[in-house]
Amino acid sequence: MTTQLAYAKGPLSPPVSDVTIGQVLADTAAQAADAIAMTDGSTDPAARCQWTYAELYDEAQAVARTLLQRFEPGERLAVWAPNMPEWVVLQYGCALAGIVLVTVNPSFQEKELAYVLQQSRSAGVVVLPEFRGNRMLQHVEAVRDQCPTLREVIRFDQWQDLVAAGRELTQPLPEAQPLDACMIQYTSGTTGFPKGAVLHHRGLLNNAAHVGERTGMEAGGAHMGYMPLFHTGGSVLSVLGALHKRANLVVVQMFDPGLILELMETYRARNMFGVPTMLLALMEHPDFTRRDLSSLQAVTGGGATVPTALVEKIESGLGAPFTIVFGQTECSPVASMTSADDSLEDKANTLGSPMPHVEVKIIDPASGETLPVGELGEYCTRGYHVMHGYFDMPEATAEAIDDDGWLHTGDLCAMDARGYTRVEGRLKDMIIRGGENIYTREIEELLFKHPAVADVAVVGLPSERMGEEVAAFLRPAPGETLDREVLFAYVREHLSPQKTPRYWFQVDEYPMTGSGKIQKFVLRKQWQEGAFTELQG
């Protein structure tokens, strides 16, 4: 009897298109010129400007021409701002100009910003001067001397000047190619040093289109754009997903359940996307039952599998089929996905099957051999969607993408005979908090530097709402007292809020392996048994 191997390939339809983002935008502007392309989902209804596809294309061309007065095609331009319509126009403008957009998390602090600007060798940065108390322009100026390639600092509060200057220019735009790099997004590695995934037009456009088709959603209508644009969930699945469906992208600056529910009703939203914590927050909001959400046709989740009871609650509460996507930034970002007509069990317990033209296999991490169906191993994927590599990191690229083109994701999964996979854990030490990937070593290395800390282990603890929360288990330095407030402030000074531990525990000694490594799974088990008391301060 032949053993079936854990290998599957997605369907051959719809096809993979060899086009660029600029070409698709131009075609859409020509064929659906007066269709609403984008709405500013401001809290103030009077400020809700709209762009047709013709207007969006016109503004993106103006931005592209202005940028080409300052940058060469192929150079990298960072964007550091929250969700805003200008961010979307900049994304399209860079694609038309052949400039590679480097996305930066708006919650980053100076150390994190400097690293991204240095490593990407960005020639410029487009920045919002301030957001939620983060003085972003001030931070840019503070790190400028550390970034030798940084020539230009462009301010979003002077956006109209940028657009006006471009409308005075008439030079032809360069002809981008489908496999040209168009975006670099940073994803932290287990070493604690972020890596810039180099993504291309062909991968991003087709991935967004295929995800949209698998939801079963009709064209047109409104798409909710509250997923962070610095993530592929925002800039790919939301922005390019709306472009594929010729839909109205309602751009929301930050996740506000009450505002989003009002916008969904006002603009007759057809889809919504979010990690489970977001979907729960929307359904638990007091306005949920009084808003008319009958236009909704698709709800898509990502970042974690969803319990059966929650799938049922989402589908009954929102009145639309639920699907879940699985992948990572490095695969543009989706490799597997459930379908709108999948069973409740598959939607809750699996990651779905491979996307069109995408291959997936489960391998033995030690030997590299493909495992039989049902056995746990590393999830690997190959196809049009895989990144070019990590920017200026050939060794990391070679570690992630093998000689046969397979991307090794580091996820521990098993595949059934149909090609559906389920995730069991991670080969690498990573915490997934509310859909955000957090790598523990970066936090540990920072805490090691604090004089009150002798040793530290950062662990993900289970959370019903967030999936996991960050916890720090610390051993104090001799003669030192650990103070929670002091340590919290120390981490927040250097790292983003989502990376700051929620729980702080003192330990006298760690459970260790025979080779001297901390057994984090034992710490997690001991916590579940009530062995630790939280630090005070």
**DSSP H helical ranges for 285-376:** 308-318, 344-349
Neighbouring CB atoms inside 10 A of 460's CB total 21
**DSSP H helical ranges for 429-506:** 440-448, 484-494
CA 398 to chain centre: 22
The encoded tokens of residue 11 equal: 């369907």
Neighbouring CB atoms inside 10 A of 478's CB total 5
Strand locations in 41-136, DSSP E?
50-52, 76-80, 100-104, 124-127
For the full predicted model, state whether its pTM sits above 0.85.
Answer: no
Instruction: Collect all residues with Cβ–Cβ distance below 8 Å to 309 and sequence separation of at least 6.
Output: none
**CA–CA separation, 83 vs 332, rounded Å?**
19
Termini Cα distance of the chain:
64
Which pLDDT does position 281 carry in this prediction?
85
**CA–CA separation, 310 vs 303, rounded Å?**
15
DSSP 520-531: HHHHHHHHHTT-
Return the residue matching tokens 């200057």.
Answer: 165
Q: Is the previous residue joined to 372 through a cis bond, with omega within 30 degrees of 0?
A: no
The encoded tokens of residue 57 equal: 């294309």
CA 318 to chain centre: 24
Contact 121, 151 (CB under 8 A): no
Which pLDDT does position 448 carry in this prediction?
85
**CA–CA separation, 331 vs 357, rounded Å?**
13
Return the residue matching tokens 């056995």.
Answer: 375
Contact 305, 349 (CB under 8 A): yes
Residue 437: which of 189, 230, 83 has the closest Cα?
Answer: 189
The encoded tokens of residue 149 equal: 């390639």
Instruction: Give 69: exposed, middle or buried? Use CB within 10 Å, 0-12, 13-18, 19+.
Output: exposed
Which pLDDT does position 188 carry in this prediction?
56
Which pLDDT does position 515 carry in this prediction?
41
- Residue 167 belongs to what H/E stretch? helix 159-167
**Tens of each residue's pLDDT in the chain, 537 residues:** 689 999 999 999 999 999 999 999 999 999 999 999 999 999 999 999 999 999 999 999 999 999 999 999 999 999 999 999 999 999 999 999 999 999 999 989 999 999 999 999 999 999 999 999 999 999 999 999 999 999 999 999 999 999 999 999 999 999 999 999 999 999 854 334 689 999 999 999 999 999 999 999 999 999 999 999 999 999 999 999 999 999 999 999 999 999 999 999 999 999 998 877 788 889 889 999 999 999 999 999 886 667 787 888 889 988 999 999 999 999 999 999 999 999 999 998 899 999 999 999 999 988 999 999 999 899 999 999 999 999 999 999 999 999 999 999 988 899 999 999 998 766 766 788 888 878 787 898 899 889 999 889 999 999 888 989 999 999 998 899 999 999 999 999 999 999 999 999 999 988 875 445 577 878 988 999 999 989 987
Neighbouring CB atoms inside 10 A of 278's CB total 20
Segments making up each domain of the chain, as ranges: 21-176, 430-528
Which pLDDT does position 478 carry in this prediction?
86
Instruction: Give 481: exposed, middle or buried? Use CB within 10 Å, 0-12, 13-18, 19+.
Output: exposed
Per CATH, the number for 21-176 is 3.40.50.980
The encoded tokens of residue 223 equal: 């798409």
Q: Which fold has domain 430-528?
A: GMP Synthetase; Chain A, domain 3 (3.30.300)
What distances in angstroms separate CA 217 from CA 226, 339, 438, 489, one per listed residue?
Answer: 18, 11, 32, 45
Which pLDDT does position 49 carry in this prediction?
98
